[in-house]
Amino acid sequence: MEAEAETEVRENKAEDSRERKRLSETPPDDDCCPICFGSFTVPCRSNCGHWYCGNCILQFWNYSSASKPCKCPMCTCQIVNLMPEASLHQQQDQEVTEVLKSVQRYNLLFVGGARGFVQKMRELPLFIKRMFRALMDPDTNDSYLAEMRLFAMFLSIIYRATPFDFIPTGSLGIGRVFDFSAVTLVLILRLVGIYRRRRLMQRVRRLAAMESLQE
């Protein structure tokens, strides 16, 4: 019984040590950023306890869904809050200040409630820009189609609530008109992305052929 009790105590101490390390105010000295595999620059801790370079995790989020929190590359938990290292707030370096501002904007987007909704409305141009850029990527998934259709439904609700009636809908109704427009826009952007990809590949092949001829 005493051996079992000692084992349990050791396991509890080890668990407490791991938890303190996970929730420490500074990144571990012997660790590195899991994204760039370099030393931490503007280190930020996620709500799940993993540390990243502030710029790295924000860039990683840029390649994910525009309206959803970034998923932790280590444990796939949704990152709804990034906590910069406390000492960073005392620094006057411009690059550090810019990253901290971006981190604060990210946190406000997913804070939830009325404040989060207001921030999402303020950042709507950013969401649209990211969505369009992702839709032109042939390798992106189809989640953006659903987001575009939701956005179109939101616009149709706003249109119905206004006294304007300048869009000819025929027998379709304004909801279907906006929905079909969203789907058509997605298809056009995807075709543009495929065309741009082909042009880029042709340019790469020409450059490679020119270099081989010079050799």
As a whole number, the mean pLDDT across the chain is 77
Between CA 203 and CA 162 the distance in angstroms is 49
| Residue 186 confidence (pLDDT) above 70 | yes
Which of 24-28, 91-95, 167-171, 197-201 is the most confident on average? 197-201
Phi and psi for 53 in degrees, rounded to 5? -65, 135
Q: Mind listing the domains of the chain with CATH numbers?
A: 21-112 (3.30.40.10), 137-163+172-210 (no CATH)
Model pLDDT for residues 123-169, shown as the tens digit of each residue: 667 667 767 777 777 766 666 677 777 778 877 888 788 877 777 77
Between CA 4 and CA 8 the distance in angstroms is 6
| Local confidence band at 51 (pLDDT 50, 70, 90 cut-offs) | very high
Whole-model pTM: value is 0.54
| Residue 52 confidence (pLDDT) above 90 | yes
% of the chain with per-residue pLDDT over 90? 8
pLDDT (mean) for 92-119: 79
Segment (H or E) for 211: helix 174-214
Which pair of tokens denotes residue 86?
């406390």
pLDDT at 53: 92
Between CA 150 and CA 163 the distance in angstroms is 22
CA distances from 167 to 104, 164, 199 (A): 40, 9, 36
pLDDT at 189: 82
Between CA 70 and CA 63 the distance in angstroms is 9
Q: Of 165 and 32, which is predicted with more confidence?
A: 32
pLDDT (mean) for 10-29: 57
pLDDT at 45: 92
pLDDT (mean) for 95-109: 86
Phi and psi for 139 in degrees, rounded to 5? -90, -5
Model pLDDT for residues 190-212, shown as the tens digit of each residue: 888 888 888 888 888 888 887 77
- Of 99-108, 109-118, 203-212, the least confident: 109-118
| Residue 22 confidence (pLDDT) above 50 | no
Which of 43-52, 130-139, 181-190 is the most confident on average? 43-52
